[in-house]
Amino acid sequence: MPIESTFELYQDTAGEWRWRLVVSNGNIIADSGEGYKSKQGAKRGIRSVKNNAPNARVVAID
């Protein structure tokens, strides 16, 4: 059975919006890495990840 994941959208202590991708065991496996001034901006960030990386390849950089 695949692990369920959820994008959590939240406001940080500086008042900026962020997102994090959380799997069913509670582990955060990705986050926005930056704060957004608006909730809509953070939602666009989530959409961008969903649209641009569904089949992203892995490249090892040594």
pLDDT, tens digit (0-9, with 9 covering 90-100), for 1-48: 567 899 999 999 999 999 999 999 999 999 999 999 999 999 999 999
Which superfamily is assigned to 5-52 in CATH?
Answer: YegP-like (3.30.160.160)
Structure tokens that stand for 61 in this block: 């950089």
pTM given for the model = 0.83
pLDDT, tens digit (0-9, with 9 covering 90-100), for 36-51: 999 999 999 999 999 9
18 close to 41: Cβ distance less than 8 angstroms: no
Cβ neighbours of residue 3 closer than 8 Å, sequence gap 6 or more: 23, 24, 25
The pLDDT assigned to 23 comes to 94
